[in-house]
Structure 1
Amino acid sequence: MMRPYVQRSLLFLAAVAMTFASLVHADESETAARQSAARAILAPESEQATIVQDMAANPSPVLGPIFEAWQRSQVYIYEAPDGARIPFLLMPADGSAAKAMRIDNGEPLVGPDGAPITVDETVMKPVETFAKLRRAMRSTMDLLALADPAPATRQSAILKLGMKQSPEALPILNARLAKEQDKAVKNGILDSIALINLASPDPQLQIDALNQLKKSNSIPSRELVAKMAADESLSPKVRAAAVSTLKAIDNHLFWVDFFGTMFRGVSLGSVLLVVALGLAITFGLMGVINMAHGEIMVVGGYATYLVQCIFGSGVALAPFGISVNLPGFGFDPNSGIYQSYFLFALPVAFLSAAAVGVLLERGVIQFLYRRPLESLLATWGVSLVMQQLFRLIFGPANAPVYSPAWLLGSFSVGDVIMNYNRVFVIIFAVAIVVGTSLLLAKTPVGLLIRAVMQDRTTAACMGVRTRKVNTLTFAFGSGLAGLAGAFLSQIGNIGPSTGQTYIVDSFMVVVVGGIGNLIGTVISALGIGTVDQILQTSLRNPVIGKVLVLVGIILFLQWKPSGLFATKGRGLEN
């Protein structure tokens, strides 16, 4: 019996041998591709397009840059002293001259003395191209994408081939199907083959293709399938299969749109939730209607904008006509530290909004407790002043906040596209809700807040410093609004008037959920955000959708004036 260490050693040697063999094979494939490209460049014009088209049978990533350079007239031919003609590209070098790289082997072009040859591009005559050759190169480059290491690039190229419905692509797709390892790309190849077979004169091939597209719920094929379903010249069996496939695709599209709308609604509801969470705490604790809560949210958005600028080249502001230049760290936009600016912006947004909240509470609101009408008018005036300050400092246009690279892009689940930035907002909103719940339920500060919320007078008699609790609570609620502004900068616009858009929705969330109730605020925010998106998408009219949401809320409050979950207090006024 073979000893375990001997068996492991043999397995390791086998793995090394397989890796070496694959590297050798890849190197041989690249060399063959380079030699084919060189042969095409040196061939007569009548043969060039055919040679280029033949190269699609053995795609290699090295051909892409060569074809691109050829189309840009950046390919040249060197006449060696021995009469050999060597095609080459120019590589950047110091000075006016450039180093030449051979196309046939990828090595520097050297003279008889073995020294690299440098040439002046301005005196060289490039290899010419013509329309037929350029079309052949574009077609071959599309096929070259089938060998791209990125699955998304391969899938896009495969779909492009299928939509052309060219039978010449079938052997290439079948060859790629045998090599492909990615399951999603394999399914894409099967769909592309089916798309090509839709144009076949064989009815059975058409029916088989339609069944494949029905099985995969191929959304890109819907238009072609719809044409077949309406084509009376086709056989009844083919038309019946087309009608069945069209119904399956339309049903799939309905659910894709539905869940996509739900996802957008949940992401919008997450922003509303974070905005309304602070409002629910302050409103429930102090009974103050803070109409400037939306502008405090905008403070967090502008704080995110400033952090982004400081991580870059800085920003020039002109508050009250005075030119102020904030210097930046000058980080490379592609560097990891610059791409992490948003993580640093989150605490800055929270603290800056909390500081504004403290100033507002100590300067205005502390004098207006238990005077709801006066506090409403005063904070509304503050909101107008803050909007004008935003215009004077940052200008009337929206602040250009760019998402970091790790929040760009999207992924799909069953054809439902989900953006990374919206997923991030949802996850962070959940974390904020959990953190706020733990703060209120498990900490001494939360105990004081809940005591003052239930009965301010009794809490004061027990030694609770209600004024400090008020200030701390207002700062925390304002900080949550600042975080909402930071999140909003990643999925929407930040401008001087942005707060007015969200203040009404925030109060609706608080009132419908139940004033001061955390669970009610969560359910209300997600419900209003989702229903709003569903109505806007189904009615194709955002205004009517918003009106219907408002009407629904009014009718709901007629039924339950205290909201979903009414907060019970122990004071005499309750």
Structure 2
Amino acid sequence: MAMTFASLVQADESESSARQSAARAILASESEQAMIVQDMAANPSPILGPIFEAWQRSQVYIYEAPDGARIPFMLMPDGSGSKAVRIDNGEPLVGPNGAPVVVDEATMKPVETFAKLRRAMRSTMDLLALADPAPATRQSAILKLGMKQSPEALPILNARLAREQDKAVKNGILDAIAIINLASPDPKMQIDALNQLKKSNSVPSRELVAKMAADEKLSPKVRAAAASTLKAIDNHLFWVDFFGTMFRGVSLGSVLLVVALGLAITFGLMGVINMAHGEIMVVGGYATYLVQCIFGTGVALAPFGISVNIPGFGFDSNSGIYQSYFLFALPVAFFSAAAVGVLLERGVIQFLYRRPLESLLATWGVSLVMQQLFRLIFGPANAPVYSPAWLLGSFSVGDVIMNYNRVFVIIFAVAIVVGTSLLLAKTPVGLLIRAVMQDRTTAACMGVRTRKVNTLTFAFGSGLAGLAGAFLSQIGNIGPSTGQTYIVDSFMVVVVGGVGNLIGTVISALGIGTLDQILQTGLRNPVIGKVLVLVGIILFLQWKPSGLFATKGRGLEN
């Protein structure tokens, strides 16, 4: 690659200078264009990226002025169409009378490119990324440059190292230099490079190091250093995989916990087998969907064939207010699901206490009815719920990638568990719930209105299911049958943890989630991993039928 790498050590030129250089390259002859573009790496101005991209897409043109001047320009959208913008100064293209020049794209001939010029533009853009304001972009460009193992890149990397302020990017530069030095004929430089890669546990260099460890043409010392570095990198990868699996397991367990926590209230504390718990969770998901639509342009529904238009606030999807819709959706999801829970308890459940089989059949019928209602109101297709920007993306800790939405569900689950525990242990309402749970008859004799406590407890458990639906809407679509996906896992978590025991539910959810991820990752087969988890649960319940922690009451049957 014929290019002046040392030019990148010079001070950054202004955007104006970069524009003028780009214009000069466009107007130059084919024999000079590639060389001018390569030398433009001396100007790391961000404006060159859009110009080069437009040029490669044949969207750069030349205006022939009446005075004979040739002015390169590109078309930029301005809301009502496209306007011509000069490349040399970024100003609108105007004619002799000062009015903007109107161009017809159909009749304009774009400036052509050729293979050598396109390669020069790509190389220059890669080098310009070394001065990008975003550290992640710089680090990616540095790694890409290092993996080419071109000795010509060493001057620019050393110059960038002296100017770089970000610690992670500095380490990336050291690794890139070491990767280039792996190809050096000097054994001492190779060993020093291997030691650097061993120190940083450089995962991208693993294949190169493995080849050196197996290359019999190298000296024994170099091969020994390569073998030691390879062992260190493999050991690092083992721990990255381990902690990555544990993180995914905890996040999966947190999802199960959020879904099962409401069931731990209604089933564990009240003894009601509510097969409609999954559909109540879906209510929270649809509530989140409606809040999202109301923050946007609204939504048109057709319940029972009747057209209903729900207007929206019309917030821009990129605005901060729209991006905060999920925070408003959480209480809406909770109270919507709680209201449905009150209707279910007052209309069906109150007549079926102490009759588990009848409550199971009745709530199963209710779940089928609710699924059909969802289809009639929202349609059979899934309702698309888009995650706000602050829940998208990921970050890494020691090469372990952590998604923001998974971190959020963990924090979300911890907050719900703490809040529920405090409610049950530290408030008068919690005292009434625990009293009715332990001995309903004695509590009634002491003046506790057990019917109201039952309704309140069921509403709270249903509200927690609604919160679970709100979060699940952020990691997948909500549909009429979504609840059936989680109802079995929810009962499994509650039963294994011990019916009615919140601590047991937490341990069960995290344990099942982590075990599931470990088996799926280790066996590299999700189906077999899931089957083994279910078999393990069955064997565990044979050993401890009451789960991890059996809830004790004051009745004689306990």
Seen in structure 2, the aligned counterparts of structure 1 residues 212 and 291 have a Cα distance that, compared at 3 Å, is same
**CA–CA separation in structure 1 for the residues paired with 2:210 and 2:32:** 41
Cα separation, 1, equivalents of 2:220 and 2:6 = 54
Q: 1:484 to 1:195 in 2, by over 3 A?
A: same
Query: How far apart, CA to CA, are the structure 2 residues paired with 1:435 and 1:515?
Result: 19
Question: More displaced, 560-569 or 432-441?
Answer: 560-569
Percent identical residues: 94
Which deviations, in whole Å up to 9, do the C-alpha atoms of 1:149-201 show, x marking residues without a partner?
11111112222222233333322222222211111111112222222233333
| CA-CA distance at 1:292 after TM superposition | 1.5
Assess if the C-alpha contact under 8 Å between 2:149 and 2:179 holds in 1.
Answer: yes
**Shift, 1:414, TM fit:** 0.6
SS at match of 2:61: strand
Q: Taking structure 1 as reference, are residues 191 and 97 closer, same or farther at Cα in structure 2, changes over 3 Å only?
A: same
CA drift of 1:25 comes to 11
Q: Write the distance in 1 (CA, Å) between the matches of 2:515 and 2:126.
A: 43
Deviation at 1:452, TM superposition (A): 0.4
Kept after mapping to 1: 8 A contact 2:20/2:89: yes
Of 213, 224, 227 in structure 2, the residue corresponding to residue 229 of structure 1 is: 213
- In 2, Cα distance between equivalents of 1:157 and 1:564: 52
Identify which range, 249-258 or 542-551, moves more after superposition: 542-551
CA contact (8 A) 1:285 1:452 kept: no
1:460 offset after TM fit, Å? 0.2
- Checking the alignment, whether the CA contact within 8 Å between 1:280 and 1:518 is kept in structure 2 is yes
- Distance in 2, matches of 1:296 and 1:121, equals 56
Contact 1:200/1:206, CA 8 A, preserved across alignment = yes
Displacement of 1:205: 2.8
Distance change in 2, residues 1:474/1:179 (3 Å): same
Give the drift of 1:117. Answer: 5.3
Pick from 38, 55, 62 the counterpart of residue 40 of structure 2. 55
Write out per-residue CA displacement over residues 332-390 of structure 1, whole angstroms, 9 at most, x where no aligned residue.
11111211111111111111111111111111111111111111222222223323333
Say if 1:98 and 1:120, in contact at 8 Å, map to a contact too. Answer: no
- Return closer, same or farther for 1:390/1:19 CA change in 2, 3 Å cut-off: farther
- Give the Cα separation in 2 of the matches to 1:525 and 1:340: 29
Matches within 5 A, 1:246-325: 246-325=230-309
Secondary structure in structure 1 of the residue aligned to 2:106: helix
User: What residue number does 1:454 align with?
Assistant: 438
CA contact (8 A) 1:298 1:482 kept: yes
The SS at the match of 2:85 is strand
CA 1:220/1:323 → structure 2, altered by over 3 Å: closer, same or farther? farther
Structure-2 change in CA distance of 1:24 and 1:332 (3 Å): farther
CA distance in 1, matches of 2:19, 2:227: 48
Deviation at 1:517, TM superposition (A): 1.6
Q: Give the Å deviation of 1:514.
A: 1.9
Distance 1:80 1:290, change over 3 A: closer
Separation (CA, whole Å) in 1 of partners of 2:512 and 2:83: 64
Contact 2:295 2:322 in 1 (8 A): yes
TM-aligned CA distance change 1:401 to 1:39, over 3 Å: same
Structure 1, residues 35-79: CA drift from partner, whole Å, max 9, x if none? Answer: 322332232211110111122244221211221222233333445
Deviation at 1:394, TM superposition (A): 3.0
Deviation sequence 1:257-304 (CA, Å, 0-9, x none)? 111111111112112212222212222332111121122112211221
> More displaced, 496-505 or 358-367?
496-505
User: CA separation of 1:352/1:203 partners in 2, compared to 1, >3 Å: closer, same or farther?
Assistant: same
Q: Structure 1 pair 25/371, CA: closer, same or farther in 2 (3 Å)?
A: same
State which drifts further: 270-279 or 414-423. 270-279
More displaced, 315-324 or 482-491? Answer: 315-324
Check 1:90–1:551 CA distance in 2 against 1; reply closer, same or farther (3 A cut). closer
Shift in alpha-carbon separation, 1:423–1:380, aligned structure 2, 3 A: same
Query: Contact conserved, 2:7 with 2:42, CA < 8 A, in 1?
Result: no
Q: Report whether the alignment pairs 1:209 with 2:193.
A: yes
Structure 1 stretch 277-286 or stretch 228-237: which is displaced more? 228-237
TM-score normalised by structure 2 residue count = 0.92
Higher mean displacement: 183-192 or 470-479: 183-192
| Cα shift at 1:137 | 0.5
TM-score scaled by length of structure 1: 0.89
